[in-house]
Amino acid sequence: MTATTETQTFRAIWPIVNNEASGATNDELLQLALADLPAVAQRHRVKIDGQPRGYITEAAKIPGSGGSGHVVVIEAPAIRAPHRAYWRPTS
């Protein structure tokens, strides 16, 4: 019998805290979020397993992101990362 790996969609959200004209462009914000995605996924114990897609939307449309006018959302197929042991076996 072979083990199967279930793929799910991992969603990471970054609030946009500076909506002023002098701030980063939408494309720059998306690129920053994409660059940060592997670290965020690792903290949540998942491994990105496909092409991510990103968009910017109103924070009110995303549960849990209140207080910010807009957010960057990156979604990607992901699988659960293997369990990491935080102890060393005694020999």
Contact 59, 13 (CB under 8 A): no
Average pLDDT over residues 16-32: 81
Q: What is the per-residue pLDDT for 65?
A: 77
Average pLDDT over residues 13-17: 89
Percent over 90 (pLDDT), the chain: 56
The mean pLDDT of the chain is 85
Q: How far apart, in Å, are the Cα atoms of 38 and each of 4, 33, 49, 63, 87?
A: 23, 10, 11, 22, 24
Q: Is the pLDDT of residue 3 over 60?
A: no
Q: How far apart, in Å, are the Cα atoms of 27 and each of 2, 39, 70?
A: 42, 20, 14
Q: How far apart, in Å, are the Cα atoms of 50 and each of 13, 24, 29, 42?
A: 18, 27, 20, 15
Domain boundaries, the chain: 8-80
Q: Is the pLDDT of residue 83 over 50?
A: yes
Average pLDDT over residues 11-29: 82
Q: What is the per-residue pLDDT for 1?
A: 44
Q: Is the pLDDT of residue 2 over 60?
A: no
